[in-house]
Amino acid sequence: MSEHPTKSASPSSVAYVQLDDAVNFATAIIAGQGVSTDHAVTIAECLLEADLRGVHTHGLSRLPVYVERVQRGLVNGAPEMKLEKPVAACASLDGDNAFGFLVGRRAMQEAIAMAETCGVGVVAARNSNHFGMAATYLLQAVKAGYFAFVFTNASKAMPPWGGREGLLGTSPFGAAAPSGKLPPFILDMSPAVAARGKIRLAEKRGEPIPEGYALDENGQSTTDASAALRGVVLPMGGYKGSGISMLMEILAGVFSGANFGGDVPDQYTVWDRPQNVGHFFMALKPGIFVTEQGFRDRMDELVGRIKANPLADGFTEILMPGEIEARLEAERRRSGIPYAAADLALLAKLAADHGVSALPHETR
């Protein structure tokens, strides 16, 4: 559920954390909630992949709410997921109320395995929870050499076009295709003008949001993040974003057997029942219609043509979807992940509350 990476705060308010330290920290916190070490590592890696790629709304800043929900029994820390295959290329995955990261990784793994044999694999998952950044599972498929679609639904945050009350989620439209030598296509976008997590991050940092992001609870435009969270975010492109969100609701919610149409509880405000989030995963084998190498060569030709297009005024380069994030990831793996002071304070409190060593960091 992401868009362009969140801009970093000013250098004076930023500290840097090395990836291994961050993974170890998150793993220790999660494993301390009765989650197996293997599962804790998977969850930590998913969170840190988001921070590496600049999508801080889906990174370590979400760790406190995940911990609280598993502590309250609203997320199952020791799930027994069940897979059923009604036909050779399709499967239904019951996540047993697991962390969404575990459901997502398992579902994409199963979709890839079916695609290897059938050319296509589809998995619809239910009884899951928030699964973080959709690009996590797109990258899982692309690294294995597969084209992929990843959809999820979410708690109500956006009205259908023409409405003023939240009904639809800001669920991402995710699609990816591998290439050869040039950058792959990794599209992970919210159908909202801005993902709700981005507004929540602004609230936590005491920052305003741009005009046009949201309406307050009275249906009036607002730049106040707190007022926006009490109201609704707006669909991008009006009815177009609204229609994309409806598609996500159909495939991930209606199709999977999960909650849908405003019934997914908000993980930040509803503490009396699990979310039952639904997901939809599809993997396609590139060599179905042309050879696999032919597909990659043709993708490189397409990417090359896109990047060679004459530049409009004010632009210095044409970037593929996901390319900015990939560059950030490469840089942050070398130099460390930047975190704002407010995020580090939140994580320091989490560490103290759970008897875990504080997250090592360096101010530069």
With a cut of 90, say whether residue 122 has pLDDT above it.
yes
Question: Is the confidence at residue 4, as pLDDT, over 80?
Answer: no
Residue range 253-257: mean pLDDT, rounded: 98
Average pLDDT estimate for 183-212:
90
Residue 23 is predicted with a pLDDT of 98
DSSP track, 69-129: HHHTTSS-SS---EEEEEETTEEEEE-TT--HHHHHHHHHHHHHHHHHHHSEEEEEEEEE-
- Euclidean distance between the first and final Cα of the chain, in Å? 30
In sequence order, which ranges of the chain are alpha helices (DSSP H)?
19-31, 37-52, 63-71, 100-118, 135-143, 196-205, 225-230, 239-248, 292-307, 323-335, 341-353
Average pLDDT over residues 189-205: 86
In this prediction, residue 46 carries a pLDDT of 98
2 pLDDT higher than 50: no
Indicate the average pLDDT of the chain.
94
Residues in the chain: 364
CA distances from 338 to 15, 145, 183, 188, 360 (A): 6, 31, 25, 22, 12
Question: Of the given ranges (230-234, 311-315, 320-324), which has the lowest mean pLDDT?
Answer: 230-234
User: Rounded to 5 degrees, what angle do the CA atoms 198, 203, 204 make?
Assistant: 95
Question: Average pLDDT in the 225-230 region?
Answer: 93
pLDDT at residue 349, rounded to an integer: 96
At 364 the pLDDT is 83
- Give tens-digit pLDDT for 149-165: 999 999 998 999 988 89
So what's the pLDDT on residue 342?
A: 86
pLDDT at site 1? 40
pLDDT value, residue 107: 98
Question: What is the average per-residue pLDDT within 80-100?
Answer: 98
Over the stretch 162-194, which tens digit does the pLDDT of each residue have? 888 999 998 899 999 999 999 999 999 999 998
Q: Enumerate domains of the chain plus CATH numbers.
A: 11-192+235-363 (3.30.1370.60)
Average pLDDT value for residue range 354-362: 95
Question: Is residue 5 pLDDT above 60, yes or no?
Answer: no
User: What is the average pLDDT across 58-66?
Assistant: 95
Does residue 218 carry a pLDDT above 50?
yes
- Give exposure, 65-89, as e/b (b: 16+ Cβ within 10 Å): ebbbbbeeebbbbebebeeeeeeeb
Per-residue pLDDT for 274 more than 60? yes
Q: Give the tokens for residue 25.
A: 């920290």
pLDDT-based confidence at residue 135 (cuts at 50, 70, 90): very high
Confidence of residue 3 (pLDDT cuts 50, 70, 90): very low
Q: Inform me whether the pLDDT recorded for 9 exceeds 90.
A: no
The answer to whether residue 20 scores a pLDDT higher than 50 is: yes
Q: What is the structure's pLDDT at 8?
A: 40
* Helices and strands in the chain, H and E counts: 11, 13
